[in-house]
Amino acid sequence: MKALSRHTPCGDTIFCDDIRQEITGKVTLVGVYAGSMYLLKPFPAKLGKLALRITYQEHPDESEDPVELHIYLPGNKTGEPHMKTVLDHKFREAGKPLLESTPVFEGDDTEKLLSATFHVEMTDVPLNGAGRIKVRAYRGGDEIRLGSLLVQQLTSPAIAAAAAETGNG
């Protein structure tokens, strides 16, 4: 069997309601969304809180270009990101973490990865329509897709069915 190397740059995002950092080093993700978020209220809506655990990875010495992260919200007519930030270049220096341990994976030189993982918590998040919350990284001329979450409004029959299943209808 042929072992495939990870293509980089790459990464992922976990979308949830809250992230709790414990003193023991554990991270607790509360209310993790599994691909979709269903709103019970009509658009436009405000989400009280949304937390994202974002990981970005690349091979050592792959690039010296800055990495900029953008978070886009559905229904935003301007196309501008709701939030953006530039990653601190120190994540490329092995052993110098951003917000938590930055591992360099073991293996031969083609398997080592620099990893930056951090948490973003947003409050009063404006959702102006159905669509995707998108997390993107930009490095040089490249867009790196780090994840998305589909946001939908439940229709009245769906709400009634869900309420009936849970005994709340």
pLDDT at 100 (0 to 100): 46
Tokens matching residue 151: 């946001």
pLDDT for residue 79 = 86
Cis bond leading into 126, ω under 30°? Answer: no
Tell me the per-residue pLDDT of 48-68, one tens digit each, with 9 for 90 and over: 999 999 999 888 888 889 999
- Amino acid identity, residue 24? T
Strands of the sheet containing 131-139, edge to edge, are 36-39, 142-153, 131-139, 67-72, 83-86
Q: How confident is the model at residue 158 (pLDDT cuts 50, 70, 90)?
A: low
Angle (nearest 5°) at CA 167 between 165 and 169: 90
Q: Give the model's pLDDT for residue 94.
A: 53
- Other C-beta atoms closer than 10 Å to the C-beta of 117 total 20
What is the rounded average pLDDT for all residues in the chain?
83
Residues above pLDDT 90, as percent of the chain:
50
Residue 23 predicted with pLDDT over 60: yes
> 114: which 2 tokens?
């620099």
Residue 148 tokens read as: 């998305």
Percent helix, percent strand, percent coil in the chain, to nearest 5: 10, 45, 45
Query: Is-contact 36 74, C-beta < 8 A?
Result: no
30 versus 40: the higher-pLDDT residue is 30
As a residue count, the chain comes to 169
Q: pLDDT tens-digit profile of 68-111?
A: 999 999 988 888 999 999 887 766 665 444 444 444 554 555 56
Residue 146 in contact with residue 11, Cβ under 8 Å?
A: yes
- In whole angstroms, give the CA distance from residue 94 to residue 104: 7
The per-residue pLDDT for 61 is 81
The residue-averaged pLDDT of 22-26 equals 89
In whole angstroms, what is the distance from residue 26 CA to residue 155 CA? 38
What does pTM read for this prediction? 0.81
Q: Would you place residue 18 in the very low, low, confident or very high pLDDT band (cuts 50, 70, 90)?
A: very high
pLDDT digits (tens, 9 = 90+) for 97-148: 444 444 455 455 556 778 888 899 999 999 999 999 999 999 999 999 999 9
CATH architecture of 10-166: Sandwich (2.60)
- Of 151, 156, 133, 118, nearest to 19 (Cα)? 118
- Structure tokens belonging to residue 104: 């360099």
